[in-house]
Chain A
Amino acid sequence: MSTGDPTFRFRIGLVPRPGTSPAESQAAVEGQEPAEAFVPPIDIHEGPDGLVLEADLPGATEKSLSVQLEDNVLSLHAAVPSFVPEGARLLHEEYRPGDFRRSFILSDEVDRERISAELKNGVLRLLLPRADRARTRRIEVKS
């Protein structure tokens, strides 16, 4: 991933869940009983105060969503309740109902204390504010 702004280098990437080998992590993505989890698509863009991460989590509710920060790994997990009417017979399936799970590595430039999250219409919006020391500072040069 390229970083255009040298004053604010931010690395964020998919990581295996802590304590799992890549193989185990892949198995988790493919789905293991009972909790089948999918990797949600995300957008990341720069905002005025830091980075904004948006993730598609259709069906997730505030109660079913957890965002955790452990060391430098930010993990999101959303349990999705079933929308299928009881006793209904499946005729056609293009997505598998299941949970969403994804993890990211945060760089030191994110102010962990001020991370905030908002869930609206199945879209999670995470605000990752820049830590003060990572902001561009103008240094006066005295003659």
Chain B
Amino acid sequence: MGGVHWQGRWDPFRELRNEMGRLFESLDPFPGARRVAQYPPLNLYDAGDRYVLLVQLPGVLPGDLDLAITGETLTMRGERKRAEGIKDDQYRRQERPIGHWARTITLPDRVDGAAVAASFSNGILTVNLPKAESAKPRQIAVSAAGDESAYVPGREVNR
């Protein structure tokens, strides 16, 4: 799993700690987890014939995102920009993360790279990763060899 590469001068967690202090700590059930959390947060699901990756990327446009897949490795990188024309001293509170980020995810199995499709909906990126033919579960037909004594219970494929 790759880390997040922040290039901005702003550290979201320092800001949070300084500005919200104890109030924030008292409300945040997992202050420690939040500090080590990777950006962007993602969930991975196995939907049988494909993997589904959901990534929280609010405010990110498809043009600000780069997705690449090699074998079973998915690389995502992008940049989350702050609105233009706003000076630092105009901000009263900054909690939303910004900057360049990159993540590399190793999938449990090979996927069909050419069939990978990604879409954005209301700030959530959905990546559909169809499993490669070789990675799909297969039924192996067992043909009777004619010799009854060679039959081993449990070897037979359940239909």
Contacts and interface: CB of A to CB of B under 8 A. Distances in A.
Majority DSSP secondary structure for residues of B touching A: mixed
Given A61-B122, A87-B48, A94 B41 contact: yes
A58 B57 contact: yes
Contacts of B41: 94-95
Contacts of A45: 86, 90-92
A12 interface: yes
B32 interface: no
A72 to B, nearest CB: 17
Q: What size tier do the contact residues of chain B reach?
A: 35 or more
Contacts of A22: 26
Majority DSSP secondary structure for residues of A touching B: loop
B95 interface: yes
A58 B96 CA distance: 12
Given A85-B45, A88-B45, A122 B58 contact: yes
B123 interface: yes
A115 interface: no
A25 B51 CA distance: 37
B6 interface: no
Q: What size tier do the contact residues of chain A reach?
A: 35 or more
B68 to A, nearest CB: 19
Interface in A75-94: 83-85, 87-94
Interface string B94-131: 11110000000000100000000000111110100000
B145 interface: no
Contacts of B75: none
Contacts of A29: 27-29
A56 interface: yes
A84 B54 contact: yes
Interface of A: 1, 3-4, 10, 12-14, 22, 25-26, 29-31, 39, 41-47, 51, 54, 56-61, 83-85, 87-95, 97, 120-123
Interface of B: 12, 19-20, 23-24, 26-29, 37-38, 41-48, 51-52, 54, 56-61, 82-83, 86, 89-97, 108, 120-124, 126
17 contacts: A3-B92, A26-B26, A26-B27, A43-B82, A45-B91, A45-B92, A46-B90, A59-B56, A83-B121, A83-B124, A84-B43, A88-B45, A88-B52, A91-B51, A92-B43, A122-B122, A123-B123
Q: 5 nearest interchain CB pairs? A: A122-B123, A122-B58, A41-B95, A88-B45, A58-B123
